Amino acid sequence: MPSIELRGVTNFICRHIDLRIEDGELLVLLGPTGAGKTTLLNVIAGLAEYNGSVLLDGSPIDDTPPHQRGIGYLFQDLALFPHLDVSANITYGLKVQKRPPAEIMTRLKELLRLMRIEHLAHCFPRDLSGGERQKVALARALAPSPQILLLDEPLSNLDLRTSKYLRIELKSLQSKLGITTIYVTHNQREAEELGDRIAVIYQGTLQQVGTPQEIFFNPQNEHVSEFIGSPNILPCKHCREIGQGLMEINTGGLTIIAPYEGTEVNKIAISPRDIYISAEKPPGPDLNRFKGVITEIDPSPPLTRIKLEVGDHTLLAEVPTQIGEEMDLEVGKEVYLILKLRWIKTLIDHSG
């Protein structure tokens, strides 16, 4: 599978984008709506005008028309052909490329099996559920054995459970096929879960490219930090495994229980939205529960951001504005907080 390289790609939205995606890598393009994510995919697929250069394995493909670029593209709205049944949708690419019928049949069976949609072979798109359509569209994009796969928010229109399930499927499929993949999303959790690396894009400019941990623990500028939810990052001195896949971490006078991932850590991070706030002492064992004093309140509906002094740390937390009002939040007031266990992220940062 080839590597993809963008050199100085510029058009009506993209601003001089340089990016290299390695052979077999899954790169997530993360950014808010209108940041230029889809446009960048269209540039690679040859569907959008641009200046600059796109290279596959070092050779430019700028003059190659879209239908000869050998790229599998899963569109955000899937774009299944409504007049063709599932089989015909999947084999469309093979047929227009005039592959031998025997090969087409074999490939079709293979893909139906791979996606576990054999029973849908003769259904029309209108009769499929969202998740099924997703699978058909993916099978169609994969059918001509593309060397590059572009996925444009493929899971954004699905319910949470289906989307989570398909995300896992997609990840394992991608590593099985070893296909160089760019995955576009505005969902930070999706990006962290899927990406070998994440490229954060904002207003047509690449802000930061790095592994999920690099992005999360070392956001290079405000846009990145803001977009990944301005996480609280706490350095920690001591940590020890306590069994059940958990560990105990001491940081600035707090003892925090966090998921143990097999190594010691020296940084933990938690997003403001993953801190639970209450005025009364919450029930339950006294773990990850702390008292904090409000030092700052920033109500910008629908969310109110609160700065809290907890131990030696200042933590940023978020509550829905309405709930914040009901709780009578004010500066100087003491509140209880819980750090949600499963959302605490941990890191060994060798650089510091």
Partner 1 sequence: MANKFRPGWGILPVALFLAAWEVGARLNIIPAQLFFPPFSAVIEEFYTLIVNGVLLDNFLRSLFRVLVGFSLGCLGGLLVGVLMGWKELINKALNPIISILYPIPALGWLPLLMLWIGINEMLPIAIIFICSFFPVCYNTVAGIKGVDKNLIQAARTLGASEFKILTSVVLPLAVPNIFTGLRLEAGMAWRVIIAAEMVAIPTGIGALLMRAESLIRIDIIIVCLMVLSMMCFTFERVFLYLEQRLTAKWR
Kindly state the smallest distance separating residue 142's Cβ from partner 1, in Å: 11
Per CB under 8 A, 135 contacts partner 1: no
Give the span between the Cα atoms of 172 and 114, in whole angstroms: 11
Residue 138 makes contact with partner 1 by CB under 8 A: no
Q: Which two tokens stand for residue 109?
A: 């069976």
Q: Residue 230: which residues within 8 A CB-CB, separation 6 or more?
A: 271, 272, 316
Q: Can residue 73 be called a binding residue for partner 1 (CB under 8 A)?
A: yes
The CA-atom distances, in angstroms, between 245 and each of 240, 268, 286, 341 are: 11, 16, 18, 12
Stretch that binds partner 1, among 2-10, 119-127, 300-308, 335-343 (CB under 8 A): 119-127
Judged by beta carbon, residue 93 or residue 131, the one nearer partner 1 is 93
Helix (H) or strand (E) holding 115, with range, is: helix 101-115
Position 121 contacts partner 1 (CB under 8 A): no
Backbone angles phi, psi at 83, to 5 degrees: -90, 0
List 84, 177, 327, 338, residue binding partner 1 (CB under 8 A): 84
Nearer to partner 1, 75 or 202 (CB): 75
Residue in the structure block whose two tokens are 């609160």: 306
Is 216 near partner 1 (CB under 8 A)?
no
Q: How many residues bind partner 1 (CB under 8 A)?
A: 29
**Directed axis angle between helix 86-96 and helix 130-142, to 10°?**
20
Interface mask (CB under 8 A) for partner 1, residues 15-54, using x and -?
------------------------------x-x-------
The Cα diameter of the chain in Å comes to 75
Query: Cα-flanking dihedrals φ and ψ of residue 222, to 5°?
Result: -60, -40
| Interface stretch with partner 1, choices 93-101, 178-186, 202-210, 276-284 (CB under 8 A) | 93-101
Q: CB under 8 A: which stretch of 31-39, 141-149, 191-199, 304-312 binds partner 1?
A: 141-149
Tokens of 130: 């969202």
Please report the beta strands in 139-195, taking only residues with DSSP state E, as ranges in sequence order. Answer: 148-152, 180-185
Binding footprint of partner 1 on the chain (CB under 8 A): 45, 47, 66-73, 75, 77, 79, 81-85, 92-93, 96-97, 124-126, 140-141, 143-144
